[in-house]
Amino acid sequence: MKFTDIFIRRPVLAVSISLLMIILGLQAISKLAVREYPKMTTTVITVSTAYPGADANLIQAFVTSKLEESIAQADNIDYMSSTSAPSSSTITIKMKLNTDPAGALADVLAKVNAVKSALPNGIEDPSVSSSSGGSGIMYISFRSKKLDSSQVTDYINRVVKPQFFTIEGVCRSTGIWCS
């Protein structure tokens, strides 16, 4: 006697078990937590330092490298990038996903303050800022063969930027430059 023979001889049992499976399945689906957009926090911390009159090599050697060495000891860093330009240094730290933004900022700020005395005289205090958000950063480039850069910038600020804010989930737009 096969297992399936029981259900062939007793169709009411087969229907009952099928209905029980459907009811349990529907109950499981109703309790299943599914989010269209899961909550994810990305934290980016930026350390900007100005050293008026210094060239990029001097900034790299005496400012950026010292700050990087100290900041690299902070917890939950995903990756770090830096830029040294004449008179300025910018270090961008991307924290691991769902890192506490306030804790990460405090940790990086402590690392910056620890190395502040080793930085050259005449340097301005490093500025540490944090931005946290959901996901996604988008870079868009605009150019025109007919308009000069100031006209393109004006068009972006008057027409394009307001359109972005009508999109659900867009809360900020920064960094529009033309060259």
For residue 128, pLDDT beyond 80: yes
Q: What is the pLDDT of residues 65-92, one digit of tens each?
A: 999 999 999 999 999 999 998 888 999 9
For residue 61, pLDDT beyond 70: yes
* pLDDT > 70: percent of the chain: 90
Which one has a higher pLDDT value, 89 or 179?
89
**What is the predicted pLDDT for the residue at 134?**
53
β-partners of residue 132 are 43
Residue 3 sits in the same domain as residue 25: yes
One-letter identity of residue 177: W
For residue 176, pLDDT beyond 60: no
CB 85 within 8 A of CB 56: yes
CB 12 within 8 A of CB 103: no
Identify the weakest region by mean pLDDT among 34-43, 86-95, 118-127: 34-43
Residue 117 sits in the same domain as residue 89: yes
Q: Which one-letter DSSP state was computed for residue 57?
A: H
Half-sphere exposure (Cβ direction) of 131: Cα atoms closer than 13 Å: 12
Q: What is the pLDDT of residues 2-23, one digit of tens each?
A: 888 888 888 999 999 999 999 9
Residues 6+ apart with CB under 8 A from 83: 89, 90, 91
Please report, for the domain that includes residue 128, its CATH number: 3.30.70.1430
Residues 6+ apart with CB under 8 A from 17: 7
For residue 136, pLDDT beyond 60: no
- Distance, in Å, from the CA atom of 61 to the CA atom of 71, rounded to the nearest integer, reads 15
Tell me which residue has tokens 């150019």.
143
Residue 93 sits in the same domain as residue 151: no
Q: What is the mean pLDDT of residues 150-178?
A: 75
Please report, for residues 79, 111, 127, 161, 167, the alpha-carbon distance to residue 124 in angstroms, rounded to integers and kept in the order given.
Answer: 25, 17, 9, 33, 39
Identify the weakest region by mean pLDDT among 36-40, 50-54, 173-177: 173-177
Number of domains in the chain: 3
Residue 145 belongs to domain spanning: 138-179
Residue 151 sits in the same domain as residue 77: no
Residue 116 sits in the same domain as residue 157: no
CB 75 within 8 A of CB 111: no
**What is the predicted pLDDT for the residue at 171?**
66
Residue 73 sits in the same domain as residue 125: yes
Residue 71 sits in the same domain as residue 119: yes
For residue 62, pLDDT beyond 80: yes
For residue 135, pLDDT beyond 60: no
**What is the predicted pLDDT for the residue at 148?**
82
Q: Supply angle C-alpha 75, 79, 81, rounded to 5.
A: 120
**What is the predicted pLDDT for the residue at 173?**
67
Q: Which residues of 57-66 are buried (b: 16+ CB within 10 A; e: fewer)?
A: ebbbebbbeb
